[in-house]
Structure 1
Amino acid sequence: MSSDARGYAPRAIVVPAVVGLAFLILPLAALVARVQWSTFLTDVTSEAARSALVLSLVTGLLATVICVIVGVPLALTIARSGPRIAAVLRAAVTVPLVLPPMVGGVALLYLFGRAGWFGGLGLSFSTPAVVLAQTFVALPFLVLAVEGAVRTSGVEFERTAAALGASRWTILRRITLPLAAPGIVAGVVLCFARAIGEFGATALFAGNRPGVTQTMPLAIYTAFNGAGVTQGAAVALALLLLAAAIAVLLLVRGWRPGAAR
């Protein structure tokens, strides 16, 4: 690495930087150290753990599909709107990112709960409620990733295609989406990872019923409170979530423009 790339920051900042890095890495190392490798497969494949794992994967996939269906059009709308409208829409999309998940669960409960605006649908404390909670917290990750990719790609190629007589749908299919493909893939991966790791909104809005609404995070929480899966299975599931997070980071980095250089 050249001296220009390193810059001229004081060398003393390395000490607090190492402390901060250790604060992030050591808890994860402690988690890995607690895994009982001799019983890992048994813990992961136990009935309760398998049920939570399958439910997390299925609902996470469904939530990701919903996010793609509504999130990509929303991201395109934001990217192609005027500065003021785009700022308002972007702020609205960002709210779930900074909102405590528990508050999101309460909001969903007041909207879809038995006494909510759409209480007649009977969605609360059911498997569809898990999907809705995951969609609520994961959608911003996809929208912001896709919106940034579309905005960065510009409109020059779209204008050229329009001047040559291409329709709006053709431009979207042949130019806009292919140019934004890295951002779309990154957004989908981040969205799925956030969905399977959702806890707070799911706990309040969907509950914690084994086989129905108990996802991996809820199973882990329940185990460490003396119920549900064993703590060995909980640690194994936590390791799976950690591995999924690392895989997400690697995939996002691989699809980032210029990552191959």
Structure 2
Amino acid sequence: MDWSPLLISMKTAIAATIITFFLGVFAAQKVMKLKGRLVWFLDGLFTLPLVLPPTVAGFFLLVLFGKHGPLGQLLSRVGIQIVFKWSATVIAAVVIAFPLMYRSAKAAFEQVDMNLIFAARTLGMSDIRIFWKITMPLALPGVISGGILAFARALGEFGATLMIAGNIPKVTQTMPVAIYMAVQGSRMDRAVIWVALIVIISFIVIFFMNYLPNRKRKFGIKEGKK
């Protein structure tokens, strides 16, 4: 039994979650500061991968990073190839998981009491300090939930990954791709193993999604009482 799809999937999901976490928090913070039609445009653009079929998102990535694509040609000049490499699985996972992180972070930031922010500004605190000292700690449960959801989505990504990364054993073959190929090859025993692993990991992810934010809230309440 080749366990490389498990390792590739976990590495991809972890890398994609780290990238998506910082991008999602940054994008949510910047969009909240904007006004007018630009907010609606950016919000729709950042949410678009959530509603598009993964194969369509994968097609756009293939056009961008392909041999004749604008980014593909630019990267090829410095000897970097994305398509059919492990980095392609990460890019696909980031694009598909980003909307979940972005919307979760944005919703969490919107629930922060603006009176606290206004009070901090009157005391002379800078925007950066307000974000790290007030906004982020109060929004942390929602941000953590978004990160966990992004991890789960990155772990289960299939369509965009298959389009831009393909199915190369020990290189780009993730667990969802391995399931598809096992079923196509009538190797149901292997498909069952990969399905069971994804179900177990997904259940653990759901547990942490419910447990960690609640623990953070309880910890904050206890600290407040002290």
Within the candidate set 145, 166, 185, 2:125 is matched to 166
Residue 169 of structure 2 aligns with an amino acid whose one-letter code is: P
User: Residue 235 of structure 1 aligns to which amino acid in structure 2?
Assistant: V
**Structure 1 residues 91-240: aligned runs within 5 Å:** 91-120=44-73, 121=75, 122-226=81-185, 230-240=187-197
Cα distance in 2 between the residues matched to 1:222 and 1:51: 14
Pairwise CA distance, 1:257: 9.6
The equivalent residue for 2:23 is 70
Cα RMSD for the two superposed structures: 1.9
User: Quick one: which amino acid aligns to residue 70 of structure 1?
Assistant: L
Which residue does 2:222 correspond to in 1?
none
SS in 2 for 1:118: helix
**TM-superposed deviation, 1:256:** 5.7
Mapped pair 1:249 → 2:206: yes
**Unaligned 5+ runs, structure 1:** 1-45
Q: Specify the SS of the correspondent of 2:169.
A: coil
Deviation for aligned residue 1:258: 10
> Which amino acid in structure 2 is aligned with residue 220 of structure 1?
I
Number of equivalences: 211
User: Does the aligned pair in 2 maintain the 1:183–1:256 contact within 8 Å?
Assistant: no
- In 1, the alpha carbon distance for the partners of 2:60 and 2:128 equals 36
How far residue 240 of structure 1 moved from its aligned partner, in angstroms, is: 1.6
In the alignment, the residues of structure 2 paired with residue 92 and residue 224 of structure 1 have an alpha-carbon distance, to the nearest angstrom, of: 35
**What are the ranges of 5 or more consecutive residues in structure 2 without an aligned counterpart?**
76-80, 219-226
CA distance in 2, matches of 1:176, 1:247: 28
The equivalent of 1:22 in structure 2 is none
Shift of 1:259: 8.4
User: Offset at 1:245?
Assistant: 2.3
Structure 1 moving runs of 4+ over 6 Å: 257-260
Distance (whole Å) between structure 1 residues aligned to residue 43 and residue 215 of structure 2:
23
State the shift of 1:172 in Å. 1.1
TM-score normalised by structure 2 residue count: 0.87
Distance 1:257 1:159 in 2: 28
The alpha carbon displacement at 1:107 in A equals 0.3
CA contact 2:17–2:154 (8 Å) conserved in 1? yes
The answer to whether residue 10 in structure 2 is matched with residue 57 in structure 1 is yes
- Cα offsets for 1:103-126 (capped at 9, x unmatched): 111100000011111113221111
Structure (1 or 2) with the larger CA radius of gyration: 1
- State how far apart, in whole Å, the 2-side matches of 1:175 and 1:80 are: 16
